[in-house]
Structure 1
């Protein structure tokens, strides 16, 4: 059984990736950000059979010693740890640089010096900013419209530089808007679904005009697995978009969710949920041709199929109880 490491393993995408890697027969060393409650995040909800193959390590990517201990002796590292909420990046930009730039530097240094065979670095479609051409290929200009996006772009550039300078075996995956069970209410889909599941028919949102390329989390986890296991000559040193190639506006998304949940929804605009005008990314839609041609990866779930599974998750009272549906989750 090969050993792999995952940073950010306790999070939304990270926990799904851990499940995927265990299903493939890997032993997973899962870094969870240290906290005094000994909370393991979403890993606590995984089945005992999955957790039998998971070693949970409390640590912090901002600390080089934590990272070195995590990755030593592994065959691949999946680096997902990041601060991700865009509104909070307006309030605490220094913490985003510490985690998303310096944290990534620590991972790159550990992989380089310990000679780990593969590093999968996580980027984000937010680094592109509002689409200048569609669909967005990996050659689209980088246009960072928030401190979060800028910090992620900084990590991306470090990854590129380490491959160029030291031949560090890094591949960058740039997922578009992932959604699914376990996602926090800082994202629009769980914000809508959780409010409806809690019995509300008047929901509170920000701008309804932006369009996004929404991809179900199981497809995202599969994209990570794919670039982590593909032959080195096909992926190392390259950046890959992962998305469906489709787009839907937030307003139309609300209508679709209402239809799937059997309710007519009224949307109330909340000013605190609206980004500054020049910071709002108005359109994102992926061109994932490069990833498909290099690895054969393709999404398996339609938007509706993914939404149905997400709705089922939030309708479970035990899951819904984990969320605060009556406040703005930054």
Structure 2
């Protein structure tokens, strides 16, 4: 796919919140490649860990790192001032931990999004791209899942993201904020943490574990490679048709977790069997059984197409996990 916006980012100043994370850092890399000046809002750490932005640090870098927290309205105002476009990816993620600390999810995801939207409105940004998640749909009632599918808060995490999405859209209706809600489906790839299913399977395989410990094997997911998701953000940032709208980013294909595991076992050449770990099972009413995207809006409105197929994406991810196995805790289950 030829991206019509490939050269349009030169000279623009953009803010990426959650920039040190999995998708955020990949988006920063793509923006730098396209010539943008990137302001990266990262969560403050007293030990100064730069994470996946470390290669952008140093004199002359087009990336300016700002430490802060999206819950801090004043700090958010400082970060947004002077930016052309804001990509809001900062969020408290991880479904299991949301059962333990739901209030923290509301504070970061809902209040944090309100702070971002208010700052964008105050400074008149050209576009705000707010990051949603396919988890807001819950178990599919109809497939493929289009953007008008009912929202089902099957976990405190998904409830907080529904609230965040509605907060962002309320600024479009009430204040004419130029916002688009970007809703990725199960992004995967290099840099993803062991809290996600693909890296947790691969880490166990590459560590030589003979029993792969997982939760439910029957749910299906629509896995999208991370560079495709990042390219979708850029395409939608210049798509006027998407203003005030929600847009899915998914491949339109699904695979069951059990079948995915078998494919990863075969791809790595390891000898292992799958064991269902009760500690990894979601509460019965919280498990999302099926996610399969309708990506018509992204394709028709923004010209976006996923380019990396699942087999190639899994190969790349497997190699990255093997090369960075020290980052993963194989024996401990991280919520």
Q: TM-score, normalised by structure 2?
A: 0.95
**Distance between the aligned counterparts of 2:196 and 2:266, measured in 1?**
20
- Compute the RMSD of aligned alpha carbons: 1.3
**Runs of 4+ with deviation above 4 angstroms:** 47-51
2:14–2:38 Cα contact (<8 Å) kept: yes
**Distance between the aligned counterparts of 2:71 and 2:254, measured in 1?**
35
Matched with 2:221 is 212
Matched with 2:8 is none
2:70–2:112 Cα contact (<8 Å) kept: yes
**Distance between the aligned counterparts of 1:265 and 1:303, measured in 2?**
21
Return the match for 1:276 from 272, 283, 299: 283
Return the match for 2:198 from 189, 200, 212: 189
Which consecutive residues of structure 2, in runs of 5 or more, have no partner in the other structure? Answer: 1-10
**Distance between the aligned counterparts of 1:266 and 1:51, measured in 2?**
50
Matched with 1:16 is 26
TM-fit CA distance, 1:49? 9.1
Return the match for 2:38 from 18, 25, 28: 28
Matched with 1:249 is 256
Matched with 2:269 is 262
**Distance between the aligned counterparts of 2:177 and 2:328, measured in 1?**
40
> What secondary structure does 1:4 align onto?
strand
TM-fit CA distance, 1:265? 2.4
Q: TM-score, normalised by structure 1?
A: 0.96
**Distance between the aligned counterparts of 2:314 and 2:308, measured in 1?**
10
Which consecutive residues of structure 1, in runs of 5 or more, have no partner in the other structure? Answer: none
TM-fit CA distance, 1:160? 1.2
Structure 2 counterparts to residues 125-204 of structure 1, below 5 A: 125-204=134-213
2:26–2:230 Cα contact (<8 Å) kept: yes
**Distance between the aligned counterparts of 2:146 and 2:57, measured in 1?**
40
1:99-155 CA distance string (max 9 Å, x none):
000000000000001111110000000000000000000010001100000000001
1:245–1:288 Cα contact (<8 Å) kept: yes
> What secondary structure does 2:274 align onto?
strand
Judge which range, 98-107 or 49-58, deviates more: 49-58
1:19–1:50 Cα contact (<8 Å) kept: no
